[in-house]
Each structure stands twice: as structure tokens, then as C-alpha cells.
């Protein structure tokens, strides 16, 4: 993502893809659910 999570981590694990994305912060483990358009706009790099 363009901005880091408040815990300081910039890495996320994608848990669910559909109309919404569910992401898990790899720093603190918090899960975030949001609209697909928002996450596609804010993603910087995809690692596989």
C-alpha cells in the first residue's frame, strides 16, 4: 500500500479477493476489509 499501517508495517497478505478485499497486516496481524477499487488504487507492488 502507499501508506504504511499504523503499526509501521508495509506488507500485507491477501486473504480474500472479490468485490471486497480482505487483507492481513504482516506486522501486527490485524485484518482489514475494504472495497476493491480503494485497494487497487492504493497498491504499490505485488509480491508472489
Convert the pLDDT of each residue in 15-43 to its tens digit.
999 999 999 999 999 999 999 999 899 88
- Model confidence at 48, pLDDT cuts 50, 70, 90, reads confident
pTM, to two decimals: 0.81
pLDDT of residue 37: 93
Q: Strand pairing partners for 33?
A: 22
CB neighbours of residue 35 within 10 Å: 11
DSSP 6: T
By the 10 Å C-beta count (0-12 exposed, 13-18 middle, 19+ buried), 23 is classed as buried
pLDDT at residue 2 is higher than 90: no
C-alpha cell at 33: 476489509
pLDDT at residue 6 is higher than 90: yes
What is the rounded distance in angstroms from the CA atom of residue 18 to the CA atom of residue 36?
7
Amino acid at each position: 500500500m502507499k501508506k504504511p499501517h499504523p503499526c509501521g508495517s508495509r506488507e500485507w497478505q491477501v486473504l480474500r479477493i472479490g468485490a471486497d478485499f480482505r487483507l492481513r497486516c504482516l506486522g501486527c496481524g490485524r485484518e482489514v476489509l475494504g472495497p476493491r477499487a480503494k485497494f487497487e488504487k492504493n497498491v504499490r507492488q505485488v509480491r508472489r
